[in-house]
Amino acid sequence: MSEIAIRLLRPEDHKALAALMVEMQGHYSVPCPASEEILSGLAALPAGVDILIAVKGETVLGFASACNLYPGPGLKTGYFLKEIYVADAARGAGLGRKLMTALAELALERGHRRIDWTADADDAALLRFYDGLGAAAYPKKVFYRLTGDALVGLAGAVED
């Protein structure tokens, strides 16, 4: 039986990661694009996006997706963790911690000074997980999102 490896996503992993992303969308009860659309997105990842995967054999059991940010503390770079997800069947085996540990190692290797992310305030188990990593909530910041009609409206705004 093969061991679980944590490593950067490779093109040959796209199909397995796409299947896990379909599971993730169902887990969160949100709409999911067709597999072909997911694969197309993975094939065209923007520069500065890093995806770490937890893989056993050819099965992707979890992933963490982060993007580079600038400027960060001391005008250095940082990471923004966009998503971390572990397959329902693989939960409780420490894969989330392993993914975050690998992301922290990669961040330091690349000269990043911090990793930022958001979390659902009402998910107590998730908050305990992040607290257990040694992360601290940062109450001086407010998370904003511009989407839908508000995004279109702002983009179409004309200055007087």
pLDDT tens per residue, range 51-105 = 999 999 989 999 999 999 999 878 999 999 999 999 999 999 999 999 999 999 9
pLDDT higher than 60, residue 160: no
Residue 47 resides in a domain: yes
- pLDDT-based confidence at 158, cuts 50/70/90? low
Question: First vs last Cα of the chain: how many Å apart?
Answer: 66
**pLDDT for 2:** 65
Please report whether residue 119 resides in a domain: yes
Domain-located, residue 51: yes
Q: Which domain holds residue 89?
A: 4-155
For residue 36, what is the domain's CATH number?
A: 3.40.630.30
Question: Which residues are within 8 A (CB) of 85 and not within 5 positions of it... i.e. 6 or more apart?
Answer: 20, 21, 24, 27, 62, 63
pLDDT > 70: percent of the chain = 97
* Token representation of residue 24: 């993730």
Q: Which two three-digit tokens encode residue 28?
A: 């969160």
- Asked if the model's pLDDT at residue 106 lies above 90, the reply is yes
> For the chain, what percent of residues have pLDDT higher than 90?
86
Q: Is the pLDDT of residue 1 over 50?
A: no
Pairing of strands 59-69, 4-8: unpaired
